[in-house]
Structure 1
């Protein structure tokens, strides 16, 4: 399976086309799950496992792979299903999120599929707030559930919204007052953390759950705003992977719209930095920032306000 995973250069061919590749797998039943291939480093048989004291219940231990220790997370147990019974022939998916690498224990890996983001839909509204899905799709009459890995990881290692005192200066807060930000992300976990940080800085935060909703919001705001929209909106902070329209396509649409083209767009994602540095230039983002780094997010706001002074 590992040879099926593409390098950075080949993955960039999908960017701007509103397409994605999903790695499909099963956990403990017949239901098919998936994660974005961009997050996957390799798929392999479970190496020798070392137990860890005082570990999270869903962390079954640590493996040593290519000179580094990786936590192994039972993904089934982490999302509220029964644990996977594992042995030395079990399968793990090694992933990178937010510059950290971890392995997920799964029941079996199926295949990689190439889809359009328009085929990816938000979870049903009746699913409640506590599910572990960012989206669903349908393939060959089967529902595929796309796992909210960011939520899984945040429950194992809770996210921080603490900011150092020097960032929360009165002058900084005063200069930020009245400024607005649009946060576009399909993860409620990401919204919660970023919203807490932005409001500490005195900013008004608008939220959209995917790129299409974000684009519609911006077009409406531009129509309702006297003068340039940039006088009102300090930043557009967008995730990369989202149902219906991804962050790369959203950025492309912004740059192609005369009323929106000068907006400052930040790609805020858990995808690897090496990949996104290439993507920032290709689609026209102003900046790339890894998710769940509160001080860097606050510094970005600070620097942007200083640029406009």
Structure 2
């Protein structure tokens, strides 16, 4: 599983592949793109006073990586762990981390529109679930791995101070549409972009809603620049992902001039070509919020 470049050859198809894994009796999913490899557990070195969800560290190919106990993260009882348990070695937000799970079962290829957003009623504000995939007689829960890591190490998240250093400028009349499914990140983006002087923001929790909004605007007038000056989008979102959204915008003659910035934890050298293929003006890796502000400045000031 070391090379995923060929998995979804065409960009913007609104599909993804997920690795299904188990913790206890529950089934969860992680985007294949985040997975570097799956290995058998190796010797863990305990770290005193580490976060309770961190088992310790391992050395893998000369690199020292933290091991996160997913049973503790999810508050689940697991059976006595056995020979089926696995380490999922993942990479996102420019960092590598190992997730300790009870079993890795299979890979599914699905469309983002098959993933339902979990209801606030049953997930609560502290949930790590960002999507529910219904398959025959079972459900697979898609987890917010970025949030799991930020909960352990808040320093790895978006840094508002880095934006304050840029200073406020007169940016408030420029309108930015933002597609981001994480409530936590929507608030952080709202606060940090306001701090930078961008006050005119329109948020959507998936690409489908953002696209419908933009398409509605160009029915009134063909010049999208009169209404919106920038689209910022995440990649992983239920209903419609950011690559598909970007592709749809660039294929629409009335929207094609709208600059699109992809702001995602999945921006790596291996995956940058996907954003290029769908026509994004630029791509910034989370959590580099200061860089995002500078890129917005470049395109719309």
Give the TM-score of the pair, scaled to structure 2.
Answer: 0.91
1:148 to 133, 141, 144: 144
2:130 to 103, 127, 134: 134
Q: Once the 2 structures are TM-superposed, how far is the Cα of residue 222 of structure 1 from its aligned partner?
A: 3.1
Q: Which runs of 5+ in 2 are unaligned?
A: none
Q: Once the 2 structures are TM-superposed, how far is the Cα of residue 38 of structure 1 from its aligned partner?
A: 0.6
Q: Once the 2 structures are TM-superposed, how far is the Cα of residue 268 of structure 1 from its aligned partner?
A: 1.1
Conserved in 2, the CA contact under 8 Å of 1:77 and 1:84? no
Secondary structure of 1:297's match? helix
Match of residue 283 from structure 2: 288
Aligned residues between the structures: 296
Q: Which runs of 5+ in 1 are unaligned?
A: none
1:266 to 261, 265, 268: 261
1:96 aligns with 2:91: yes
Match of residue 221 from structure 1: 217
1:278 aligns with 2:273: yes
1:7-86 map, 5 Å: 7-28=3-24, 30-82=25-77
Match of residue 242 from structure 1: 237
1:189 to 164, 184, 190: 184
Greater mean deviation of Cα atoms: 111-120 or 83-92: 83-92
Conserved in 1, the CA contact under 8 Å of 2:174 and 2:300? no
Match of residue 162 from structure 1: 161
Deviation digits for residues 234-271 of structure 1 (CA, Å, limit 9, x no counterpart): 32111112111111111111012122111111111111
2:205 to 199, 209, 215: 209
Give the TM-score of the pair, scaled to structure 1.
Answer: 0.89
Q: What's the Cα RMSD here?
A: 2.0
Conserved in 1, the CA contact under 8 Å of 2:85 and 2:104? no
Alpha-carbon distance between aligned partners in 2 of 1:262 and 1:43, rounded to the nearest angstrom = 42
Conserved in 2, the CA contact under 8 Å of 1:239 and 1:269? yes
Conserved in 1, the CA contact under 8 Å of 2:222 and 2:254? no
Alpha-carbon distance between aligned partners in 2 of 1:187 and 1:85, rounded to the nearest angstrom = 33
